[in-house]
């Protein structure tokens, strides 16, 4: 979908069509906390983008219309759109990726058939929801995904089977899903900046440097992606986070917030009918320096007090460093559906099996 949240807002507020619209936290005239969730294409012309601090977005375009996130509305519209998309998929070859994105395997006999189906999809979504979408057509998920981003908004990009390499080669390696800034810098260090250079690079060197991911990156650079279009209905993780109204180093404020976040995360865990094995915390300092810590226990659990205890221990590492916290978050992962476990721990004497760290 094209700029989904802001586009839904312009449907219910037609007077905003053609104007810069920003959906996210309250900017509070430049003193607001939080970030931009999404923005209209008119707002992007001012340099605003998703994930940007809302205060910076306000400075870039103070005349924009700033709206709060209406998630219940967006989920409702998304549900209707996904039903439309599912109706065009071959049998059950449908995969919802996020609230505004999906893969469809339409099993078209010819490329022209696929183009016809794409146009029907666009017409039905526009007619029923007054929203535009951008579609990419390719032989696999990799090519279709990259193509879908090429001509936004309201785009339709078709990559014929014999044009895949020509399509991919000139692009930067970051167009390949999974290659982020860190991997980009590592590839740049060995002289690889484009997909063509990645495809031509010595496979043994890639594997030596990146392990199995080296194989995968090279295959994707060659336009090879055998991943199936299928829905994974399992919940991978649940979490909550909060941005403080004011940066704080007060332990009482931080630990009280952890208790509230843990309760909210635990509620989401129960709603999903799951147990957890890993607790992760995220802290963001003033200046947006962000760190994540995680700890796994030796059993499956649903104990909220265990979530609080581990979270406080992990966050405690960052308290008292003469730096104030802007945001904290808690996430539970390594989930298992209740009833599928053979043993449930109560949190007493938890055996720590692994600690891993990411610094972003």
What is the rounded CA–CA span in Å between residue 60 and residue 22? 11
What is the rounded CA–CA span in Å between residue 132 and residue 122? 7
Start-to-end Cα distance in the chain? 28
Q: Largest alpha-carbon pair distance within the chain?
A: 64
What is the rounded CA–CA span in Å between residue 38 and residue 67? 10
- Catalytic one of 42, 45, 101, 231: 101
- CA proximity to 254, closest of 210, 208, 314, 295: 314
Instruction: Provide DSSP, 227-286.
Output: -------S--EEEEEEEEEEEE--HHHHHHHHHHHHHHHHHHHHHTTEEEEEEEEEEEET
Q: Do the Cβ atoms of 274 and 335 come closer than 8 Å?
A: yes
Respond yes or no: is residue 286 known to be catalytic. no
Calculate helix-pair angle for 203-210, 212-221, nearest 10 degrees. Answer: 140
Instruction: Give the strand pairing for 325-333 and 94-98.
Output: unpaired
Q: Do the Cβ atoms of 315 and 283 come closer than 8 Å?
A: yes
- CA proximity to 345, closest of 288, 285, 301, 310: 301
What is the rounded CA–CA span in Å between residue 188 and residue 209? 13
Q: Do the Cβ atoms of 254 and 325 come closer than 8 Å?
A: yes
What is the rounded CA–CA span in Å between residue 186 and residue 198? 12
Residues that are catalytic: 101
């Amino acid at each position: 979908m094209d700029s989904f949240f802001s586009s839904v807002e312009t449907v219910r507020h037609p007077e905003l069509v053609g104007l810069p619209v920003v959906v996210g936290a309250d900017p509070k005239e430049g003193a607001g906390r939080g970030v931009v969730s999404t923005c209209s294409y008119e707002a992007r012309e001012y340099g605003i983008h998703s994930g940007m601090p809302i205060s910076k977005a306000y400075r870039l375009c103070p005349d924009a219309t700033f709206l709060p996130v209406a998630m219940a509305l967006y989920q409702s519209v998304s549900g209707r759109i996904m039903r439309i998309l599912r109706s065009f998929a071959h049998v059950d070859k449908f995969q919802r990726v996020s609230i505004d994105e999906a893969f469809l395997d339409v099993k078209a006999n010819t490329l022209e058939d696929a183009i016809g189906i794409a146009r029907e999809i666009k017409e039905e979504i526009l007619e029923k929801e007054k929203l535009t979408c951008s579609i990419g057509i390719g032989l696999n998920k990799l090519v279709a995904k990259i193509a879908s981003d090429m001509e936004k908004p309201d785009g339709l990009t078709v990559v014929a089977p014999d044009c895949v390499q020509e399509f991919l080669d000139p692009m930067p390696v970051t167009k390949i899903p999974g290659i982020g800034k860190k991997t980009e810098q590592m590839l740049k260090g060995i002289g690889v900046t484009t997909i063509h250079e990645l495809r031509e690079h010595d496979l043994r060197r890639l594997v030596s440097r990146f392990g199995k991911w080296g194989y995968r990156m090279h295959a994707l650079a060659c336009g090879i992606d055998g991943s199936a279009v299928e829905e994974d209905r399992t919940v991978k993780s649940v979490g909550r986070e909060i941005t403080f109204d004011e940066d704080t180093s007060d332990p009482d404020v931080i630990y009280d917030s952890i208790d509230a976040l843990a309760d909210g995360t635990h509620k989401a865990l129960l709603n999903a009918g799951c147990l957890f094995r890993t607790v992760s915390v995220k802290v963001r300092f003033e200046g947006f320096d962000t760190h994540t810590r995680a700890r796994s226990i030796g059993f499956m659990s649903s104990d909220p007090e265990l979530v609080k205890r581990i979270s406080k221990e992990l966050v405690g590492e960052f308290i008292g460093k003469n730096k104030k916290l802007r945001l904290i978050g808690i996430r539970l992962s390594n989930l298992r559906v209740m009833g599928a476990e053979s043993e449930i721990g109560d949190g007493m004497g938890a055996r720590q099996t692994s600690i891993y760290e990411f610094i972003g």
